[in-house]
Amino acid sequence: MGISLEKGARVNLEKEAPGINKVSVGLGWDTRDTAGNDFDLDVSVFICDESGKTRGEQDFVYYNQLTALGGSITHTGDNLTGEGEGDDEVVKISLAEVTEKDASIQKLAFVVTIHDAVQRNQNFGQVENAFIRIVDESNNSEIVRYDLTEDYSVETAIIFGEMYRKDGSWRFSAVGAGFEGGLQSAATKYGLNV
């Protein structure tokens, strides 16, 4: 069991797991029984430079573009229901390759949005047990986990967490920032027009 973070907390991944390279970022959630329509939550990764913004669509990983940086970042696929235990969607990352392929990459933001939230009258207030965790693939051990506990009653997009480089080390921040406007709002925050 890894470190459990509270909202706003940060951890140096390389201090917790020396020599870390390949990681799986698992994100999961459950929908409340009273939610009605089926939910389709989607994980996106915004790949940002030192300005905190993407440079274009090549820096955006989601269900229609599963890889970036030559496969250094790979989304394993869209889970349309979120049913079952454990991770609902997973992103695999080679930290060394990200750094080698493009030293200007400073941050990876993990955002979860509700597909067709407005049309289905859905929001994150109808979602529970949401989490993000980082697993060291070399030994399959969980390094860090952040369980989102707030009641996001109007939000249709949430930044679960961000991995970022500081002083040559990869770190993780438990963000938990929600907002309305779904994927378009998230994309706008990171300088991308989808």
Determine which of 11-25, 34-48, 140-154 has the lowest per-residue pLDDT on average.
Answer: 34-48
Q: Could you give the percent of the chain with pLDDT greater than 70?
A: 92
Residue 140 resides in a domain:
yes
Residue 194 resides in a domain:
no
**Angle subtended at Cα 17 by Cα 14 and Cα 21, rounded to the nearest 5 degrees:** 70
Q: CA 63 → CA 34, 48, 78, 100, distances in Å?
A: 27, 18, 6, 25
Residue 61 resides in a domain:
yes
Residue 145 resides in a domain:
yes
Q: CA 150 → CA 96, 160, 175, distances in Å?
A: 34, 12, 12
Phi, psi of 128 (to 5 degrees): -135, 170
State the residue range of the domain holding 115: 3-189
Which of the listed ranges 69-78, 114-123, 171-180 does the model predict with the highest average pLDDT? 171-180
Q: How far apart are CA 112 and CA 79, in angstroms?
A: 12
Residue 184 resides in a domain:
yes
pTM metric for this prediction:
0.93
Residue 182 resides in a domain:
yes
CB 171 within 8 A of CB 10: yes
Coil, strand or helix: which one is 162?
Answer: strand
pLDDT at 79: 66
Residue 142 resides in a domain:
yes
Q: What is the CATH number of the domain that holds 47?
A: 2.60.60.30
What is the count of structural domains for the chain? 1
Mean pLDDT, range 137-152, rounded to an integer: 92
pLDDT at 82: 52
pLDDT at 2: 83
75-95 pLDDT, tens digit each: 997 665 555 567 889 999 999
pLDDT at 151 exceeding the cut of 90: no
